[in-house]
Amino acid sequence: MPQRQLAAMGTDCLLILHGPEDDPAAEEALERAAQQVREYEERFSRFRPESELSRLNESPQDQVQVGAELGALLARSLEYARITGGLFDPVVLDDLLVLGYDRTFEDVRDRPHDGAVGETPRLRWRDVLVDAAHQVVARPSGARVDLGGIAKGAAADAAIAELSSYSGALVDLGGDIRVQGRPTDSDFWIIEVEDGQRPDGAVDYIRLRNGAVATSSLRKRRWLHNGDIVHHIIDPRNGQPARAGVLQCSVIADTTEHAEVAAKVGFIRGPGFLHERSELGKALGVRGIAWLTLDGTYRRTSGWRKHELDC
Amino acid sequence: MGTKNGMKRRTRITLALAALTTAAFGAAFGLVAQQGVPGQTTTTAAATQTAGQSSSAPAQSSGSSVAPSNGSSSSQRAAAPRVVHARTRAT
């Protein structure tokens, strides 16, 4: 199957098409999809000083004109914050910065952060207003936004749209995966679920035709802060790394963006809070959820089990 | 004599019915056993069903929010399939 690998959004990315090898049209489609991913990184990464998001975060103005896509992405983020009761919050960046995640993760990991915690600003999603029609973002100066996970999910969804004319395609942005149709060598796309306790191992395998899966995990982005191990998934209720006893939460949903949001909520609240049949689960197009908890227990909803592969 | 012949006939009928019942039960049991073989149902289901509608999914009581974990540790799960296309993971 034609495929393309690239490094973007701070991770390894893989794009696959169901089609003949050496097809110029397929190669062009893969390049368009790859370009979508690169553009999302250029425009919405907080680690790129020249990105549109960085310009918004650094602006001293209370009202900032933004591009249509950033406005739409922000508006959707605020809507996710509303329907999750603030469990998903794109405005927790300052809490992360206070904990030392103020550089790319490689720098944070290699240099333990020691510093006074101080009072966090505690600005939250309710402090931000988006006028999508006029592409204006209004927020107190200092309310900074991090679109990390949701931007990656949106990029995967945008990339798969570039491949929609093919009978099968897969976009994998560092574990945020969106598929359509079927591959050439199987009736379903087969997705391995990392075992956070044994990173080289798998805790599960699922099959997908049209849909997405994303995983929130504390396995990788952990660092030392004042001698304590902290991680990057902030519980907006207290501004601290989430501590619900979860090692990782994976969600199958209709889009990668939805799967990202739901996986974060599932991680923050732990097993039992989110379900595909709940109001929130339905609003986010959730089809199944699986948790691996810190004690090594693997739990999944009935919807997830329907996607499990029979080995 | 007539009574003896009647008893023999009834015995033969009873034996024949028992044999038929045994054969029918065996056929039914064999069919169920065959359907329970992993791989055969998977292939059929995969070829005919859309994602999320697997007939091989375990039954789940309605209303429960989380499937019983049965205390399964991650090391007890996940035999590798023949083909894997991607991996969802920590990033």
Between A223 and A105, residue with greater pLDDT: A223
Q: Are B86 and A14 within 8 A, CB to CB?
A: yes
Q: If pLDDT is split at 50, 70 and 90, which confidence band does A123 have? A: confident
Q: Which residues of A19-41 are buried (b: 16+ CB within 10 A; e: fewer)?
A: beeeeeebeebbeebbebbbebb
pTM above 0.95, yes or no: no
Q: Cβ neighbours of residue A274 under 8 Å, at least 6 residues apart?
A: A262, A265, A266, A280, A281, A286, A289
pLDDT of residue B23: 52
pLDDT of residue B79: 78
> What are the chain A neighbours of B78 within 8 Å (beta carbons)?
193, 195, 201-205, 311
- Report how far residue A40's alpha carbon sits from residue A191's, in angstroms, rounded to the nearest whole number: 24
Q: Are B69 and A298 within 8 A, CB to CB?
A: yes
Q: How far is A273 from chain B (nearest CA, A)?
A: 8
Distance of CA A88 to the CA centre of its chain: 11
Mean predicted lDDT score pLDDT of chain A = 90
Q: Are B67 and A301 within 8 A, CB to CB?
A: yes
pLDDT at residue A90 tops 90 = yes
> What are the chain B neighbours of A183 within 8 Å (beta carbons)?
83, 85
Q: Select, from the ranges A264-268, B13-17, B20-24, the one with the highest average predicted confidence (pLDDT).
A: A264-268
pLDDT at residue A20 tops 50 = yes
Q: If pLDDT is split at 50, 70 and 90, which confidence band does A231 have? A: confident
pLDDT at residue A91 tops 80 = yes
Contact A180/B at CB under 8 A: no
pLDDT at residue B27 tops 60 = no
Q: Which residue has the tokens 């939250």?
A: A124
Q: Which of A3, A150, A190 to mutate to test the interface with B (most CBs of B within 10 A)?
A: A190
| CB of A223 closer than 8 Å to CB of A100 | yes
Q: Tokens standing for B76?
A: 């007890």
pLDDT at residue A98 tops 90 = no
Q: Are B91 and A190 within 8 A, CB to CB?
A: no
Nearest to A18 by CA among A2, A42, A41, A40: A2
